[in-house]
Structure 1
Amino acid sequence: MTVEFGRTVDPKINDQVHALAAKLRKENMTGIRELVPAFRSLTIYYDPLETSFQAVRQNILSYGDISQEGGAVKKRIWKIPCCYGARFGCDLADMEAFTGLDRDEIIAIHSSVDYKIYMMGFLPGFVYLGGLDKRIEMPRLKTPRVKILPGAVGIGGSQTGVYPVASPGGWRLLGGTPVEFYDPGRKEPVLCKAGEYIRFVPITINDYYDIRRMVSKGEYEPEVEEESICQ
């Protein structure tokens, strides 16, 4: 079952998607197996031997307008180290020419936002992040690259994100993170979840390789901050 909340990419619509997902998790309704939030919809996988379409639908309708539910919620923020430029930011020069900003301004703007993870997709662990400053929006490459390395931080249109594994891609690259967003050998292979936030923290190239060595030994965990916000 897919529950749709609108037809546009909008933070308030996405908040409703995650509010319904949170409500369903809290209710722990019999038969629901998986919840998949997207930009403007929530897909619900359920076991038809334990419940039915009508039962799930009726349960959701009984919630009423979940956007009106108040109270404080936790904003979970992953602090992700990012080495801007160096060997990782091959599109920074193009971004300077396109935006009219110098690279220090671009980096300062990009690292000043707590980006909400609207949804996961495209690749395992790929985060679609909302909240990019319009001053550094960039069109995708006309011809995508054949291979982008894991950890590449890029901008595609009005979004930013991190490539979790090596893959083709057309986003503009401005940096790289030593943190692994997807590791099939971990207990939790995907680092973060939709509805959480990411804050990029600028680091030097030496910091990058220091953290990378710790990551390879299983000795590094990104810092996580929690803030209370009111809905």
Structure 2
Amino acid sequence: MLKKTIPHIYALGDQAITIEWSSTISEEVNNQVMHSFQFLGLNPIEGITDMIPAYSSLTLIYNPGIIRKQAMGGSPFEWLKKKLATLTVAPSLNAKESTPQIVPVCYDLSLAPDLIEATQLTGCTIEEIIALHTSKIYKVYMLGFLPGFAYMASVNQRIQMPRKSNPRKMVKAGSVGIAGEQTGIYPIDAPGGWQLIGQTPMKIFDITKEDPCLFKPGYFVQFKAITLEQFHQFNTV
């Protein structure tokens, strides 16, 4: 049974409202975020144009004109705030079983520029880092930073590492990194400061597809180690 926490609801400009349950990374809190996200998806409020779930908050983008009509000319924010407060007593949705998405990762040093440094930061061997990184099933808490970039948590405490003090000007798409208790995959070539410990041959973001993002908030992911040969053969016929 999901234990409800009373959230803080506040304005984010004049066309958005945020419901915040906490300021920490917590699966229990994120379950409440996803519950509200799913509940509003099934019970939409007219005038809400987009919903953005994060680790511990849900931001709603809305059309002030449409909301003002429902508020009978009153404040769109105050009307929405009162409406959204009922989410704390909304009936819980039945949790769906989710099979983790298996993501192949090559941890060869040629594709893992920070793996040696990671052994120094953590005190673990390369083999231990790989074993610990692939042993857990990670939850996708949110998308952000880059199109399709999935923030996943939480990595084993033994391999938690800080971001690089000097971010790289370019990180190759598919690079798998760790930052604190988070792990993630760069969906496109972009600057970045996460500790890079491997690379996946899978395409994480594909603009040619109707749904370009491989992951969505609430998904589960598990990494599987592959060899360098398997990495290069992945997309060959």
Q: TM-score, normalised by structure 1?
A: 0.85
Aligned partners of 2:218 and 2:133: how far apart in 1? 19
Question: Residues 64, 155 of structure 1: CA spacing in aligned structure 2 closer, same or farther, 3 A cutoff?
Answer: closer
| 1:115–1:199 contact (8 Å) kept in structure 2 | yes
> How far off is 1:59 after superposition?
3.1
Relative to total residues, which structure has the larger strand share, 1 or 2? 1
Q: What CA deviation, in whole Å up to 9, does each residue of 1:1-60 have, x standing for no partner?
A: 111111222222221111110110111332222110112110011233433444433332
Q: CA deviation at 1:90?
A: 1.6
Structure 2 gaps, min length 5: 1-16, 68-75
Alignment of 1:1-231 (within 5 A): 1-51=17-67, 52-65=76-89, 69=92, 71-213=94-236
In the TM superposition, residue 97 of structure 1 has moved relative to its aligned partner by 2.2
**Counterpart code for 1:186:** K
Distance 1:150 1:73, change over 3 A: same
Equivalent residues of 2:35, 2:93 under 8 A apart: no
Partner Cα distance (1:131, 1:80) in 2:
16
Is residue 108–residue 227 contact of structure 2 (8 Å, CA) maintained in 1?
no
Larger Rg: 2
SS at 2:36's partner residue?
helix
Q: Secondary structure at the match of 2:187?
A: coil
Asked if 2 retains the 8 angstrom alpha-carbon contact of 1:89 and 1:175, the reply is yes
* Aligned amino acid, residue 151 of structure 2: Y
Larger deviation, residues 48-57 vs 89-98: 48-57
Q: Deviations over 1:102-122 (max 9, x none)?
A: 111111110111111111111
Verify the 8 A CA contact 2:139 2:221 in the aligned structure 1.
yes
Runs (5+) with no aligned partner, structure 1: 215-231
C-alpha distance after superposition, 1:123-160 (max 9, x if no partner): 11111111111000112222111111000001112211
**Is the 1:86–1:205 Cα contact (8 Å) retained in structure 2?**
no
CA distance in 1 between partners of 2:18 and 2:27 (Å): 19
Distance 1:139 1:145 in 2: 14
- Over the matched positions of the two proteins, sequence identity in percent amounts to 35
Q: Name which structure has the greater RCO, CA cutoff 8 Å, separation 6+.
A: 1
Does the Cα contact within 8 Å between 1:144 and 1:168 map onto a contact in 2? yes
**What is the number of equivalent residue pairs in this alignment?**
213
The residue number in structure 1 matching 2:4 is none
